[in-house]
Chains A and B, each alone.
Chain A
Amino acid sequence: MRMFYHLGRYAIFLKKVFGKPEKHSVFVKQIVREIDKLGIDSLGIVMIISAFMGAVITLQTAYNIDLPIIPKYTVGLAARDSILLEFSSTIVGLILAGKVGSNIASEIGTMRVTEQIDALEIMGINPAGYLILPKVVAFVFIIPALTVISMGVGITGGYLAGSLTGEVPGPDYIYGIQFAFQPFYIVYALIKSVVFAFIIATISAYWGYHVQGGALEVGKASTKAVVASSVQILLFNLILTQLLLA
């Protein structure tokens, strides 16, 4: 029953979020600010994790393929497909659910408990639309760029790890990442990442917006936001994979 309560309240909340913005010029400024805060500030963590994951995927694949009849370029192919299909969208999405999700939930939650949201309401401003819509738009807009960067850095990390350890010669790796390449895999990853961005931004904002109490409740809302976003990412990953790849 609790799930239906939250689903209903989430639907009402989304209706408020997607209300008409108060002022176009203010809305555009906020989107630019949120792109910087949610997107550009996440670039570092996305690049570091992508580089190391790409390297680890490459080495693990190389160490597990020890049959001489399997060509070395298979390692590049496996690394590419792992990064494109799953890592750069889903795993990065889960990481961003932690970083961006907790940031949004705690920011909105703190504004709620310190009556800043009430202050907006008193002024006749729709607080959900004013505070949250720019975050959703900005994050959905910037996440494809983060995903593409993650793909590039992940594959480069794999190349460096394979070459430096001597497990996969550079030319083999490069041949592998080009072999039987399907451009749709990139589209598939981008579609998933956009859906995940929407999930992270709206679910985290939902938990923050409905905080009641004080600092302790803001912390709890932040945790709930990360857990709920992560579970929904995994669920939608399954649904989208079935819909797009079947």
Chain B
Amino acid sequence: MIEAIDIHKSFDDKEVLKGISTKFEKGKTNLIIGQSGSGKTVLLKSLVGLHDITSGDIRYDDNSFLSMDNASKKRLRQDIGMLFQGSALFDSLTVEENVRFPLDMFTDWNLEKKRERANFCINRVKLENANHKFPSEISGGMQKRVAIARAIALNPKYLFCDEPNSGLDPRTSIVIDELIHEITKEFDMTTIVNTHDMNSVMGIGENIIFIYEGRKLWEGTKDDIFHVQNKELEDFIFASKLFKKIKENNG
């Protein structure tokens, strides 16, 4: 479990996160939703330590991230997998080398064992015949799969996904969402997905927090989301004509 306790984050004079507290549960796909510019990515990057927070605390399974020394932080990071918005694959490495990269850096396994693990992860994300291709030679959807395979290579406890559907067609988006959800269950990870895609919310949102202008305005499940009386959240959900239509049809 990951817990955010009263997180504030400012860039110069601009306060982007204004006291966010929440819990991200283990074995669940936790979603952070909100409009562009609401502070979702800043929150996600603060949780993984890419941004230093101004005040508050972040706890990984009851251990304060901020109180950890560098060695403990480094150990913790090996339990973290992250899927970036643009995949962030290493251009100079092939698909297999990208997936093998964390194993090369943090294990003493021989090449055969590392390749075996890399191939397991590549097969798990249902990628075929792509081992020797470079990231520039595969599609955006395939790049996301490779990034997921790399993220799970070290069998992490925590998985962070920053807008995993960004730039993908709706069908591929669903495939990626389902993959993230399945992997979360299979490896019993604490997964946090940052998204503004309502299809993802309805597909995999087990625990959802809604961020608006740096504040948490709502928290609940996908089943609750349509019944909430909150103007900002309604504006966000029903910005999509499809969801507006569903609401009208359901009265």
Inter-chain contacts of B160 with A (CB < 8 A)? 122
Question: Contacts A23-B104, A26-B105: A122 and B80 contacting too (C-beta < 8 A)?
Answer: yes
A130 to chain B minimum Cβ distance, whole angstroms, is 8
Partner pick for A23 among B50, B77, B105, CB 8 A cutoff: B105
Partner pick for B104 among A26, A114, A124, CB 8 A cutoff: A26
Question: Contacts A115-B84, A115-B86, A116-B88: A122 and B48 contacting too (C-beta < 8 A)?
Answer: yes
Question: Contacts A124-B73, A124-B74, A124-B78: A119 and B105 contacting too (C-beta < 8 A)?
Answer: no
Q: How large is the interface on A (under 10, 10 to 19, 20 to 34, 35 or more residues)?
A: 10 to 19
Closest chain A residue to B71, Cβ basis: A124
Report how far A110 CA is from B160 CA in the complex, Å.
Answer: 22
> Is A125 at the interface (CB under 8 A from chain B)?
yes
Return the CB mask of B83-103 against A: 1 if under 8 Å, else 0.
011101111000000000110
Inter-chain contacts of A119 with B (CB < 8 A)? 82, 84, 88, 90
Return the CB mask of A117-142 against B: 1 if under 8 Å, else 0.
01101111100000000000000000
> Is A41 at the interface (CB under 8 A from chain B)?
no
Report how far A22 CA is from B78 CA in the complex, Å.
Answer: 13
Partner pick for A121 among B50, B86, B91, CB 8 A cutoff: B50
Report how far A114 CA is from B92 CA in the complex, Å.
Answer: 13
Question: Contacts A22-B105, A119-B82: A124 and B88 contacting too (C-beta < 8 A)?
Answer: no
Inter-chain contacts of B84 with A (CB < 8 A)? 115, 118-119
Closest chain B residue to A25, Cβ basis: B104
Return the CB mask of A98-118 against B: 1 if under 8 Å, else 0.
000000000000100011101
Report how far A114 CA is from B147 CA in the complex, Å.
Answer: 13
B184 to chain A minimum Cβ distance, whole angstroms, is 18
Check B50 against A123 for contact (C-beta < 8 Å).
no
| Tally of A-B Cβ pairs under 8 angstroms | 49
Interface residue count on the B side (C-beta < 8 Å): 24
Check B105 against A118 for contact (C-beta < 8 Å).
no
Check A122 against B50 for contact (C-beta < 8 Å).
yes
Closest chain B residue to A110, Cβ basis: B91
Report how far A98 CA is from B74 CA in the complex, Å.
Answer: 37
B26 to chain A minimum Cβ distance, whole angstroms, is 19
Report how far A32 CA is from B78 CA in the complex, Å.
Answer: 27
Report how far A22 CA is from B108 CA in the complex, Å.
Answer: 12
Closest chain A residue to B108, Cβ basis: A23
Inter-chain contacts of B86 with A (CB < 8 A)? 114-115
Question: Contacts A116-B90, A118-B50: A123 and B85 contacting too (C-beta < 8 A)?
Answer: no
Check B105 against A125 for contact (C-beta < 8 Å).
yes
Check A123 against B88 for contact (C-beta < 8 Å).
no
Question: Contacts A121-B50, A122-B80: A115 and B105 contacting too (C-beta < 8 A)?
Answer: no
- Shortest 9 CB-CB distances between A and B: which pairs? A124-B77, A115-B88, A119-B88, A124-B74, A115-B84, A122-B82, A116-B88, A124-B78, A114-B86
A residues within 8 Å of B by Cβ? 22-23, 26, 110, 114-116, 118-119, 121-125
Task: Given A118-B84, A119-B88, A124-B73, output 17 extra A-B contacts at Cβ < 8 Å.
Answer: A22-B105, A23-B104, A23-B105, A114-B91, A115-B84, A115-B85, A116-B89, A116-B91, A118-B50, A118-B82, A119-B82, A122-B48, A122-B50, A122-B77, A122-B160, A123-B80, A123-B105
